[in-house]
A and B are shown apart, each in its own frame.
Chain A
Amino acid sequence: MGLVVVVVLVALGVLVVVKGRRRKGQGRAVSGEVPVPRLRVVALGVQGSGKTVLLTGMYRKLQSPGDRGFHLKVPFDQLIELNRWYREVAGSDTGWPAGTTRKDMREFDFGVMTTVGDRAATVFDIGYLEYPGELLTDPDAPGSTAQQQLLAAVPEADALIGIIDGLRVLQAHQGDRRGLSVLHTTLDAMVHCMLTVRAPIAFVITKWDVLDQLHEDENTRLEMVRDLLMEVDGFRDLVTVHSARRVVRLIPVTAVGHDFAVLDGDTVRKRPDGRFQPANVELVLSAVVPDVLQQVELAVDVRTRQAIMAEAQRRLRVGPAEALRTLTAFVAERAAKAVAATAGGFTAAGLALLLESRAEPDPGYQERLSALDEADRWAEEFIQARRRVVRRLQDQVAVFEGRLPASRLRGDAP
């Protein structure tokens, strides 16, 4: 009997909470929830290439704003997992993380946050698929669906990242037959997945620290690696085909730093006194947004782009809050369909970002802002904040390209 009483009380509690929330929701300001574009990233890499360590390093580097003006935020359960990996990676008395199982396959949700008005808001999301590398090279056992999930995610991605194990590159450079064979297998698996997609591609050389010995100058080192990779037929063909109409990058990263680990034979071991100082890891995610924008610009013909821009501008003039609410749906339902019929090669999320980032400067901005009501003013600040983040990302990538010109892959490269 007591149980029944308890359940009745719980039920009444549920009723009160649900009704209360409904009432609260009716009066909610526009500034509470804004639909944000979601860019889906799939990183393709075989087992042991450093996908998990890279993911950990990227988040560590971008979890606070620093001088960037934006930072990443993940759901709490994913934060716990990333922190656990970080402790394993950064601890000098622990081994490397144990590797990802098929059960662990999941998409990490990175919210890109920046300050809008007096508080932090998510201006767009990045979904990053984490999976076991053997899915790229080993056949799936009967009954398993993990490989199908991965292969289905590739053509849906806004950007692809190819993870190349720097240790295999070094072994190939040194003439090690197995290292060369594994490198070829890796590239073949990636080329197979990437050749038919239209998303921008970034190849990431992990364990860049073990390649320090190739040359003291980083760009020369990167040129040497680029030349070695371009000798592989499939890779060269992929770069030639893709670089004609989209961005293809080669980003060298070390998720632990140049002084943290040492190569002992064929094994990378942690130094007891090593300094954990990741380098370039943030560029892997930072390059996604500028590359997606450039991809959309390259894929859309001028007339179509102008027509879509005009529509976006018109909506912005009606009111920023209204534009924020309806732009995503507009892009998804009308613009993306129309453009996909003519060119394709991008998703609605990429187009939505392009519409804002390429909007014409507004000379009467301050005057217009002061005339807006509270909800519209917040929405306008939101749009401006998102533009600032996109510009910041573009600047970051431009600086990187200036520092390492060999990072931009082209089919006509030597």
Chain B
Amino acid sequence: MTATGWPFLIARGRRRGYSVLLAPPLLRKEYGVLEDVVGPASGVQVATVRGVRVVWEEYGVTEADIGGEPSDEHSRPLRLLHGVVSRERVEPSEVDMGRVRAVALETYRRFLADEEGFAVEWSEPVAVPVRRRSQRSRRWLALPVAAAGVLLAVVVIIATSEPEPGPPPPCPTTTAPATAPATTCP
């Protein structure tokens, strides 16, 4: 089973700093949120932002990728933060991420050719595998988990509650006529 995903790319140029270069139309009015959640990664990372699933990885640009030295004007290595966004729980495979990287690299080469004049590009949709959940395997867990959750909540409430103050000291007992009105302690 697959769902629609949109590739994205965040990268730095030789002169310009990190920015979104390839954006998903899904986030047309707020693609900058990707810059706030996507950062350096070892391996594939996943985050959810504005109800959208973001899957990304980091890639070190090579000389073969861009036909030149893969570093910026400050001698820092050039890196891509690329991936897909989707409304579904997509789980791209290595092959899928490789396809997305190829798309991202095309954008990146255009960016390097004209960093100052480059405008954000909008990605085309791609099909990405979706994680299938086994309804049967989860159903038997529902009742015990719910019961355990309620119990845990009760325990936490008890643990965090302040001890109740004890009852107020009784009024001093005095001998009074049976007709005397009830009074409060002085």
Q: Are A3 and B144 CB-contacts (below 8 A) given A137-B17, A146-B36?
A: yes
Assembly CA distance A102 to B30 (angstroms)? 15
Q: Which residue of B lies closest to A8 (CB)?
A: B151
In the complex, are the beta carbons of A95 and B155 less than 8 A apart?
no
Instruction: Quote the shortest CB–CB distance from A104 to chain B (angstroms).
Output: 6
In the complex, are the beta carbons of B37 and A7 less than 8 A apart?
no
In the complex, are the beta carbons of A267 and B19 less than 8 A apart?
no
Q: Are A99 and B18 CB-contacts (below 8 A) given A3-B148, A14-B156?
A: yes
The answer, yes or no, to whether A103 is at the interface (CB within 8 Å) is yes
The answer, yes or no, to whether B81 is at the interface (CB within 8 Å) is yes
Q: Which residue of A lies closest to B143 (CB)?
A: A4
- Of residues 83 through 109 on chain A, the ones whose CB sits less than 8 Å from some CB of chain B are 95-99, 101-104
Residues from chain A with Cβ under 8 Å of B16 in the complex: 134, 138
In the complex, are the beta carbons of A267 and B75 less than 8 A apart?
yes
- Give the A-B pair count, Cβ closer than 8 A: 118
- Of residues 28 through 46 on chain B, the ones whose CB sits less than 8 Å from some CB of chain A are 29-40
In the complex, which range does the number of interface residues on chain A fall in? 35 or more
* Other-chain contact of B17, A3, A4, A19, A133 (Cβ < 8 Å): A133
Q: Are A15 and B159 CB-contacts (below 8 A) given A102-B36, A141-B31, A143-B33?
A: yes
- Of residues 134 through 186 on chain B, the ones whose CB sits less than 8 Å from some CB of chain A are 141, 144-145, 147-148, 151-152, 155-156, 158-160
Instruction: Quote the shortest CB–CB distance from B57 to chain A (angstroms).
Output: 14
Instruction: Quote the shortest CB–CB distance from B165 to chain A (angstroms).
Output: 16
In the complex, are the beta carbons of B74 and A143 less than 8 A apart?
no
Interface residues as binary, A2-20 with B (CB distance below 8 Å gives 1, 0 otherwise) = 0110011011101100110
* Other-chain contact of A268, B38, B75, B160 (Cβ < 8 Å): B75
* Other-chain contact of A4, B30, B120, B148 (Cβ < 8 Å): B148
Q: Are A102 and B18 CB-contacts (below 8 A) given A15-B158, A48-B74, A96-B75?
A: yes
Instruction: Quote the shortest CB–CB distance from A80 to chain B (angstroms).
Output: 13
Chain B interface residues (CB < 8 Å from chain A): 10, 12, 16-20, 27, 29-40, 71-77, 79, 81, 120, 141, 144-145, 147-148, 151-152, 155-156, 158-160
Nearest 8 A/B pairs, CB to CB = A134-B17, A103-B39, A143-B30, A144-B32, A141-B32, A48-B74, A7-B148, A143-B32
Subset of 12 A-B contacts with CB under 8 Å:
A3-B145, A7-B151, A11-B151, A19-B159, A48-B73, A101-B18, A141-B31, A141-B120, A142-B31, A143-B30, A143-B33, A143-B36
Apart from A101-B35, A143-B36, list 7 A-B contacts with CB within 8 A: A15-B159, A98-B79, A102-B39, A138-B16, A138-B17, A138-B19, A141-B20
